[in-house]
A = this chain, B = another copy of it.
Amino acid sequence: MNQTSEWELHPQLVRETLTVGDLPLSRLLASKDGNYPWLMLVPRRVGGNEIFDLSPADQATLMTEIAQVSKALKRLTACDKINVGNVGIVVPQLHVHVVARHRGDAAWPRGMWGAVPPKNYEPGVLEKFVEDARKALGLG
């Protein structure tokens, strides 16, 4: 894939998330779906929608960012399991979900992609989560 010049976040991701900040490769987003603490990594690259469309160097950076974000999310939420995944059918821009799963959550024990309808956060909760994620990852 190419460099960042023409890169723009997909409009559906703009609508459905808040921005946490920019890691070296990816923009980090927080989903507005209050069912699960749910982050997304979107590599700021154009020209493909599969992980293997990234250069090998970008693939390595993406894995580093997945591990870093997963670890921070685990610490922030004391969750039982991190789920990591790229589905990318509804929103064709390459993005990787990093989701905190708790025993008994809305989709437990299955994958949460499309499992239940999104629900709203209580006021202020998502903003606090975004702030905590920023601090945990040194993002401003």
Contact = CB atoms under 8 A, between A and B. Distances in A.
Interface of A: 49-52, 54, 56, 59-60, 62-64, 66-68, 70-71, 74, 80-90, 101, 107-115
The A interface is mostly helix, strand or loop, or mixed, namely mixed
A68 B81 CA distance: 26
Contacts of A56: 64, 67
| Most chain B beta-carbon neighbours within 10 Å: one of A71, A85, A90 | A85
Contact of A84 (B51, B64, B80, B109): B51
Copies of this protein in the complex: 2
Given A80-B89, A81-B88, A111-B113, 15 more contacts: A50-B70, A50-B82, A52-B71, A59-B64, A60-B63, A62-B63, A81-B87, A81-B89, A83-B86, A83-B88, A89-B101, A89-B108, A89-B110, A111-B111, A114-B115
